[in-house]
Amino acid sequence: MTRYILKRILSGIFTIWVTTIAVTLLIHLVPGDPVQIMFAQSQSTTPEQIEQIRSQLGLDRPIYEQYFMYMGRILQGDFGTTIRGNQPVLELLLVRLPNTLALALSALLITMLVGVPIGFFAAYKRGTWLDTSLMTGAIIGISIPSFWLGLMLMYVFSIRLGWLPVSGTDFKNLILPAVTLGLANAAAVSRLTRSSMLDVLSQDYMRTARAKGLAETLVLSRHALRNGLINVVNMLGLQFTYMMGGAIVVENVFAWNGIGRLAIQSIFQRDYPTIQGFILIFATVVVVVSIVLDILYVWIDPRIKYS
């Protein structure tokens, strides 16, 4: 087990390393001269200033040298500074990261609390009107774009009813973006839970449990749920990374001050150091979450033994 975790951590580090290469190449993948593009909108920049920025970013050197420079800097915790304002990128990202994590985790909680029970009941009542209406609702939920759902929620609860603020950074402001992000994913999770539970409910061990004379609630909670959740936990892990991505849209709708919003701003401003830093931080979060999940599996499904 310890060996397995160690192996996973090493492969995680490898993934992040590959990301650093991609991030370095990113600037060169965009057509045209990157520095020119960065300053395309500001007329006042002189050719001397452009050259200065170019050498500051190391763009006048060969690519491999650029890479080693970049690696050397990030290993020391230096992610560079923003193009405008010269703020340290890492600090900018780390200040906002907890906001994004809080949003994604609350959304994940909503996804679980809504999606899993809906899928479970739909499976248990398969073929009935309850099943059909829940799953129709789920299809609608999957189809609604999150920015539109966000705007609608904002319209109803903030503008019409005045219950919740439109934007801001305290706990009350978290509710609407988390619900927006959570519901869309709950729809997908409910469908997966349903199909996973349908499979479990038809298994032989369910018949064995009933043959023992156990009450139906015990049969479902002890024998069905845990088996059904194996697939669901797998999906929730993937969902969490999607949510980190989905957060980019939702953060912008609700002006939630997370790294997603920062990323969009940086993209509009062609702020390469910030975009690079964002991608690296994002990749790290995804890698960490997937390692945590793999460890969680062993706990849920004893058949998985990593060696």
Interface with other proteins includes 170 (CB under 8 A)? Answer: no
Instruction: Decide: is 210 part of the binding site for other proteins (CB under 8 A).
Output: yes
Among 6, 22, 218, 288, binds other proteins (CB under 8 A): 218
Q: What's at 115, amino acid-wise? A: G
| CA 244 to chain CA centroid, nearest Å | 2
8 Å CB contact between 169 and 95: no
205 lines the binding site for other proteins (CB under 8 A)? yes
Taking CB under 8 A as the binding criterion, the range among 66-74, 129-137, 181-189, 221-229 that sits at the site for other proteins is: 221-229
Helix (H) or strand (E) holding 228: helix 225-253
Considering only 40-48, 141-149, 203-211, 266-274, which stretch makes contact with other proteins by CB under 8 A? 203-211
* Pairwise CA distance, residues 200 & 193, whole Å: 10
Cβ(181)–Cβ(247) under 8 Å?
yes
Binding mask 124-163 for other proteins (x = CB under 8 A): ---x------------------------------------
Gap between the Cα atoms of 169 and 162, Å rounded: 17
Q: Which residue, 31 or 127, is less far from other proteins as judged by CB?
A: 127
Q: Give SS3 for 218.
A: helix
Which of 29, 75, 161, 211 forms a contact with other proteins (CB under 8 A)? Answer: 211
Helix axis angle, 225-253 to 171-201, nearest 10°: 150
Angle CA(151)–CA(157)–CA(160) in degrees, nearest 5? 95
Q: How far is the CB of 139 from other proteins (least distance, A)?
A: 22
Whether 273 and 82 have beta carbons less than 8 Å apart is answered as yes
CB of 37 to other proteins, least distance (A): 55
Residue among 17, 133, 226, 255 that touches other proteins (CB under 8 A): 226
Task: Collect all residues with Cβ–Cβ distance below 8 Å to 200 and sequence separation of at least 6.
Answer: 206, 224, 227, 228
The correct pick among 214, 291, 293, 298 for binding other proteins (CB under 8 A) is 214
From 79-87, 103-111, 116-124, 297-305, give the range in contact with other proteins by CB under 8 A. 297-305
Where does this chain bind other proteins (CB under 8 A)? 127, 203-205, 207-216, 218, 222-223, 226-227, 230, 300-303
